[in-house]
Amino acid sequence: MTTTSRRVPKSRLVSFMTQALVAAGLPTADAGTVADLMATADVMGSDGHGVFRLPNYVRRIKAGGINLRPDIRIDKERPAMAVLNGDNGMGHLVVSEAARIAAEKAKTCGVGWVGVHHSNHAGPASLYVRMLLEHDMIGLYAAVGNANHLPPWGGTEMLLSTNPIAIAIPSQRFPPIVLDMATTVAAYGKVKLKAQRGEPMPEGWMIDREGKPLTDASRAGEGFLLPIGGAKGYGLGLTFGILAGVLNGAAFGRDVIDFNADASSVTNTGQFILALDIAAFMDVDDFKRQIDGVWGAMKSSPTLPDVDEIRLPGERSAHVAEDRRAHGVPIHPDLDRVLADCAAGLGIDPL
Amino acid sequence: MTTTSRRVPKSRLVSFMTQALVAAGLPTADAGTVADLMATADVMGSDGHGVFRLPNYVRRIKAGGINLRPDIRIDKERPAMAVLNGDNGMGHLVVSEAARIAAEKAKTCGVGWVGVHHSNHAGPASLYVRMLLEHDMIGLYAAVGNANHLPPWGGTEMLLSTNPIAIAIPSQRFPPIVLDMATTVAAYGKVKLKAQRGEPMPEGWMIDREGKPLTDASRAGEGFLLPIGGAKGYGLGLTFGILAGVLNGAAFGRDVIDFNADASSVTNTGQFILALDIAAFMDVDDFKRQIDGVWGAMKSSPTLPDVDEIRLPGERSAHVAEDRRAHGVPIHPDLDRVLADCAAGLGIDPL
């Protein structure tokens, strides 16, 4: 049995996922949009958020958990903000629209904030903040995760999700600075990947209900994730989660649906995206040159013993993307088998 | 020699600090504003940011490092944002004004973002996000710290500060949720407090230039602070620091003045504050009731063995404030001596 990943070009990933989503019931245009964003996630190195999620999405669509013809619409609006009703459509469609509206509002007001309710899982946070870079804007995004994986600090009832935060900042000569982080030590997608590959987790990712380290990824259901910096990561996840969830009328805390266990209930996922129009603050080229300067200062600074080089957020992703654009996205044999089953179930050709 | 802290009422702290700042050269009204905010920090339990900072501020004012008659003015503006030039005034005055403008803009636009340059150290971040609560708004704030205390992740050149982030969210029956955190495991103010008291630091706060744990607070100058969650905290501090610094034309990276070592150079401190008008999103009372619900869910959830109770961000501060309003702010004998020297130098009565 091979354990070597084969490489699949992005275009093939897009066409495969488009076919799969159409076969599952999505309109062709929407399927194409979602598939392209998912494949982009794979190219950028978000391995837990691209084609890996396809079987999950297909299962949810087939179970009736997604509105295939959503009326994505603005519920509330002021010049610099909007609350968007995702109407239980695919999260990728809802958050893309939120990013578009945020950019439009930032263009006139300098700042645009769009909160979302009745959305769904939308892949990696970085996808959406990156959309703002082409408008010469800075993006900030947060989401309520689609399953609760951690208790409040010191507790044992899982009331919080990994609530990711992403920020994208453009530069000129260097890749953009793109932070995309769960407020937990590890994202749950990484735990799932370890479980699928039968690999152990490092100590510090999870603890069990006694507070002891949990390293067996297949037993992830028996424990919970740890927040970064203890009480601080709990506080960040809680407050950004309130901004992404409660403030938009989306699910939070005990109302969060575990989308791994329940494929049919409406998740009422909440997200927000903030766009800052750099031109409102200063000359755009001047700003980008200054971000190049930040890159230069960090990269040229001396390292600790045993550290090769300083990295900036988004740097690894830029390198991975360069490699994957040239050589394709690596598909692990275990994932290949899961995708083959998914394709067979839908009656389409395998990847 | 006594080691018991005496208790001083807030009103006495305010009048003492007002006198001190006036004696140092600040106009009476501004001195009163700054003193009140500093004493509020003490009451709320931000021990490293209240009267503790007075000698430092006085030294800077006397060294000519602060503009005593600043023309705090808007440089750039759009409907939902502004860049404020602090004209090197006291940070408390500059950021208070930023919060006021942010609230005004949020009232019409739903969201208001104000970035600041040529500001100065402004005390605890929580002071300013709390100002938005009285407008039924949510506040988000970040600042570039006033001395670099940590390198980029894996490095040894101190290019970053502790760059604090604060968020305040109102509730109805419970205290507001107020997160106020350095993106480092410990704020540098806490290190200074340990040094002043001759207490060791816990392992994990700092490492030395070899990467080894540093616990002797008096040797803090030989090492650097550690970010929360390793590379994640570095990424958070870096990106929020860019939003607070570079985007506003304020100091960042190698341009940051170490205000402990240099009392006269213009710091060009950068901060930003974001106001979200809850009424633009949903009924305000409904929102506050939902935040009460978040409190209830967290507080009633079961704890790990050896944990007394679940806490929410801002809860400790609310308890401390209740005690200090009733019984006064504890002033440690070491601090008392430092303040007596400061008062003597200014020719005013001691605290």
Tell me the per-residue pLDDT of B179-230, one tens digit each, with 9 for 90 and over.
Answer: 999 999 988 878 888 998 899 999 889 999 888 999 999 999 899 999 999 9
The answer to whether residue B127 is domain-embedded is yes
Give all strands (DSSP E) within chain B, no chain letters. 6-8, 73-78, 81-85, 111-119, 137-143, 165-169, 177-181, 206-208, 213-214, 223-225, 269-277, 329-331
DSSP 8-state class, residue B221: G
HSE-CB for A181 with a 13 A CA cutoff: 26
Q: Are strands B137-143 and B73-78 parallel, antiparallel or unpaired?
A: unpaired
The answer to whether residue A42 is domain-embedded is yes
Q: Which of B106, B120, B116 is nearest to B84 (CA)?
A: B116
pLDDT reported for residue B260: 84
The answer to whether residue B123 is domain-embedded is yes
Is the pLDDT assigned to residue B1 strictly greater than 60? Answer: no
The Cα of B111 is separated from the nearest Cα of chain A by a number of Å equal to: 6
With beta carbons under 8 A apart, name residues in chain A contacting B83. 281-282
Domains held by chain A: number: 1
A167 at the B interface (CB within 8 A)? yes
Whole-angstrom distance, CA of residue B35 vs CA of residue B41: 10
The Cα of A204 is separated from the nearest Cα of chain B by a number of Å equal to: 10
The Cα of B236 is separated from the nearest Cα of chain A by a number of Å equal to: 8
In this complex, do B253 and A293 lie within 8 Å of one another by their Cβ atoms? yes
B316 at the A interface (CB within 8 A)? no
Tell me which of A236, A271, A287 to substitute to probe the interface with B (most B C-beta atoms closer than 10 Å): A236
Is this complex scored with an ipTM above 0.90? yes
Nearest to A247 among B79, B281, B311 (CB): B281
The answer to whether residue A39 is domain-embedded is yes
Per-residue pLDDT of chain A (351 residues; tens, 9 = 90+): 557 899 999 999 999 999 999 999 999 999 999 999 999 999 999 988 999 999 999 999 999 999 999 999 999 999 999 999 999 999 999 999 999 999 999 999 999 999 999 999 999 999 999 999 999 999 999 999 999 999 999 999 999 999 999 999 999 999 999 999 999 998 887 888 899 889 999 988 999 988 899 999 999 989 999 999 999 999 999 999 999 999 999 999 999 999 888 999 999 999 999 999 999 999 999 999 999 999 999 999 999 998 999 999 999 999 999 999 999 999 999 899 999 999 999 999 999
The Cα of B270 is separated from the nearest Cα of chain A by a number of Å equal to: 13
Cα A69 to chain centroid, rounded: 23
In this complex, do B243 and A313 lie within 8 Å of one another by their Cβ atoms? no
Using the structure block, give the residue that is written with the tokens 């008062």.
B343
The answer to whether residue B268 is domain-embedded is yes
Q: What is the CATH number of the domain that holds B49?
A: 3.30.1370.60
- Helix, strand or coil for residue A83? strand
Poorest-pLDDT segment among A112-116, A193-197, B4-8, B161-165: A193-197
Whole-angstrom distance, CA of residue B135 vs CA of residue B102: 11
In this complex, do A110 and B239 lie within 8 Å of one another by their Cβ atoms? no
pLDDT reported for residue B273: 98
In this complex, do B235 and A108 lie within 8 Å of one another by their Cβ atoms? no
B261 CB burial (10 A radius; 0-12, 13-18, 19+): exposed
pLDDT for B57-105, tens place per residue? 999 999 999 999 999 999 999 999 999 999 999 999 999 999 999 999 9
Find the closest chain B residue to A253 by CA distance.
B294
Nearest to A79 among B110, B243, B307 (CB): B110
Rg (CA), chain B: 20
pLDDT reported for residue A93: 98
Task: Using pLDDT thresholds of 50, 70 and 90, give the confidence band for residue B144.
Answer: very high
In this complex, do B78 and A252 lie within 8 Å of one another by their Cβ atoms? no
Q: Are strands A81-85 and A111-119 parallel, antiparallel or unpaired?
A: parallel
In this complex, do B247 and A167 lie within 8 Å of one another by their Cβ atoms? no
B209, amino acid identity: R
The answer to whether residue B193 is domain-embedded is no
Task: Using pLDDT thresholds of 50, 70 and 90, give the confidence band for residue B2.
Answer: low
Is the pLDDT assigned to residue B43 strictly greater than 70? Answer: yes
Nearest to A297 among B253, B298, B301 (CB): B253
The answer to whether residue A217 is domain-embedded is no
pLDDT reported for residue A268: 98
A8, amino acid identity: V
Q: Are strands B111-119 and B81-85 parallel, antiparallel or unpaired?
A: parallel
Whole-angstrom distance, CA of residue A322 vs CA of residue A311: 16
DSSP 8-state class, residue A210: T
In this complex, do B247 and A76 lie within 8 Å of one another by their Cβ atoms? no
B63 at the A interface (CB within 8 A)? no
Is the pLDDT assigned to residue B130 strictly greater than 90? Answer: yes
Domain extent for B87: 6-184+227-282+331-346
The answer to whether residue B204 is domain-embedded is no
- Helix, strand or coil for residue B8? strand
Find the closest chain B residue to A158 by CA distance.
B301
Cα A214 to chain centroid, rounded: 24
